[in-house]
Structure 1
Amino acid sequence: MPLADFLFYFKLGWSHIVSLDALDHQLFILALVAVYTARNLKQVLILVTAFTIGHSLTLLLSVLDVVRFSSKWVEFLIPCTIFITALSNLFKKDFSAKAVNTNYYLALFFGLIHGMGFANSVRMMLAKDQNMGWGLFGFNLGLEVGQVFFVIIILALTWFALSFLKIKRREWVIFLSAAVFSLALQMALERIPN
């Protein structure tokens, strides 16, 4: 595969997370990461990789035409995954590694749903490509790098809020999660399939 093709798919994956049109994915990552601090960087990187694995699996199955889902339902389910994740944060009283382990399962399972959201638009592009495997690899690598970039921003803001603004950790988690919950709930209500 020529480097230009790899870079094309890498940029596509990157923009899938960091573009202004990627609010749903950004909110999901924010909800997942809200309960962590910079001290949990390794856990957070595993978490976003779990999301990428779920996302990639659905994308692969869709490109191979093994699974197909109604885009109306997928567009509705994506904000549902976000507000469920944010809602689960609101009920957490303990932010130890053991207490937030459920986020790994949420990331993996909900990554499957998020992967369906992009599958319809990228299916045709990748299916025509002779080097589909490299295209998927480039896309997923771009997705992962975009997520890590976004995670670093979230963890830096969390560090600033806790260290300099002296906001209590639980209050910070509630603030972030409540904001994400309300935005995602509004998105879900707007996307209820007819």
Structure 2
Amino acid sequence: MNEFFIYLQLGYKHITDFNGYDHILFVVALCAIYRITDWQKILYLVTAFTIGHSVTLALAALKIIDYSTNFIEFLIPVTIIITCFSNFFHRSTESILFPEQFSPSRYFLALGFGLIHGLGFSNYLRSLLGKDQNIIPQLLAFNIGLELGQLVIVSMAIGLSFLLLEGFKVKKHSWNLILSAFVAGVAFKLMMEKWCF
């Protein structure tokens, strides 16, 4: 199999693997306040997150920046908790006819937290690359794989949201609070496990 597709597959499997559920939790928390009709806002958010983690994934994989792995592993659940905390203060519109309000701060949050998550992804990628001299094709393939996996996660989260909101008539605000509280609880446990101070 072509090396490009091997790394693409590895990137896809890395983000969708439930053993590395911290990144899945973050993406779910990021999308929790939206419904399926807000797909453009979700796309912008995911793009901001992608830009952030692509930058640090490349810099770390190319060994341009150095960092403490333990500290990054601790910071990732912190980003999830902060995202969930911001969700608690979001006032959802209950009608499908009225889209969620545009919040530029949320996009900067996704971009900034993407930088941290990129360093988390790079731990795995660097262990795969070894001492390869030219890692640009592998880096690109791995990143594309991550994005494909991320889109699958977003689609599942928004699909579940649609089913509950439109099928079972769960209130939007209630669903946001339930989902965000659950994700924050799991992330808090993970943060305690990764405590590095």
Superposition TM-score, scaled by structure 1 size: 0.92
Distance in 2 (alpha carbons) for counterparts of 1:18 and 1:121: 14
Offset at 1:119? 1.4
Quote the residue 2:185 is aligned against: 182
Asked if the contact 1:59/1:116 (under 8 Å) is kept, the reply is: yes
What do residues 48-90 of structure 1 show as CA deviations (whole Å, max 9, x unaligned)?
1221211111111112212111111011000000000011000
User: 189, 194, 197: which is aligned to 1:191?
Assistant: 194
The corresponding residue for 1:65 is: 63
1:120 and 2:118 correspond:
no
Equivalence for 1:15? 13
Asked if structure 2 preserves the Cα contact closer than 8 Å seen for 1:63 and 1:127, the reply is: no
Specify the alignment match of 1:105 in structure 2: 108
Q: State the partner residue of 1:46.
A: 44
Identify the residue that residue 96 of structure 2 maps to in structure 1. Answer: none
Match of 1:173, as an amino acid?
A: N
Q: Which runs of 4+ in 1 moved over 3 A?
A: 94-101, 124-131
Report the CA distance between 1:97 and its aligned residue.
4.3
Read off the aligned partner of 2:152 and give its amino acid letter.
F
Percent identity over the alignment is 42
| Equivalent in 139, 161, 164 of residue 164 of structure 2 | 161
Which residue of the partner structure matches residue 83 of structure 1? 81
Question: What RMSD, in angstroms, separates the aligned Cα atoms of the two structures?
Answer: 1.7
Unmatched runs of 5 consecutive residues or more in structure 1: none
Q: Which amino acid aligns with 1:155?
A: I
SS in 1 for 2:27: helix
Q: Which runs of 5+ in 2 are unaligned?
A: 94-98
Q: Distance in 2 between matches of 1:109 and 1:121?
A: 20
Q: Which amino acid aligns with 2:73?
A: E
Tell me, yes or no, if the aligned pair for 1:82 and 1:181 is still in contact at 8 Å.
yes
Deviation of 1:124 after TM superposition, in Å, equals: 5.0
Q: Which residue of 2 aligns with 1:35?
A: 33
User: Hey, what's the Cα distance between the residues in 2 that align with 1:38 and 1:102?
Assistant: 21
Q: Is 2:59 aligned against 1:56?
A: no
More off after superposition, 89-98 vs 132-141:
89-98
User: Cα distance, 1:123 vs. partner?
Assistant: 2.2
TM-score, normalising length: structure 2: 0.90
Greater mean alpha carbon deviation, residues 175-184 or residues 38-47 = 38-47
Alpha carbons 2:10, 2:142 under 8 Å: kept: yes
